[in-house]
Structure 1
Amino acid sequence: MLAVNYTTLRDNMKTYMDKITDDYETITVTRKGNKNVIMLSEESYNNMIENIFVKGNKSYYDWLMESKAQLENGMISTYDLPEVEADKKGI
């Protein structure tokens, strides 16, 4: 996590936004006499919200962990799916 003051961020906005989106950095914007602000990418934000949802729903989380354990223990099934007619026609 990087920390930068508001003035430096303002003067170098593109550079810091690129670090956030390209390098998955989270930036704390410090503001003299005000509360700090956190900047993160939309992708990181969406991932965080999804994790909050999954961990907040016990039955879904338990099902996901059971599925993960099955995968790790080789308990998988594979199927050949028939082609859909539209795929055969190139649609």
Structure 2
Amino acid sequence: MEAVVYSNFRSNLKDYMKKVNDEFTTLMVVNKNPDEDIVVVSRAEWESTQETLRILNNQYLREKLIASRKEIAEGKSLQRELIEV
């Protein structure tokens, strides 16, 4: 994770926003007081993280995911070609 001081972040906000979005990277913005540090992520990364948390916090979905991964590991899954419409 890249870190940048607040003043540099503020001066180059547009560039940092572009970098976070284009490179799908996380940026830590640090200040003199560590309690005021923040982390900047792209909207896509935020939504992906929220979806992962939603799945992991849902017992039914979590168990379904674990069972599916087990089937794949044991070779009990089928691979199929996608049909393009």
**Do they fold alike, i.e. is TM over 0.5?**
yes
TM-score (norm 1): 0.71
1:15-62 deviation digits (Å, cap 9, x = unpaired): 211221111111111122351011000011011111111111122111
Which structure 1 residue ranges, 5 or more long, are not aligned? Answer: 80-86
Percent sequence identity over matched residues?
A: 25
Distance 1:78 1:9 in 2: 46
Partner of 1:84: none
Q: Say which one has the larger Rg.
A: 1
| TM-score scaled by length of structure 2 | 0.76
Residue identity in the other structure for 1:5 = V
User: Which runs of 5 or more structure 2 residues have no equivalent in the other structure?
Assistant: none
Residue in 2 that maps onto 1:10: 10
Alignment RMSD: 2.3
Matches within 5 A, 1:10-29: 10-29=10-29
Length, aligned pairs only: 81
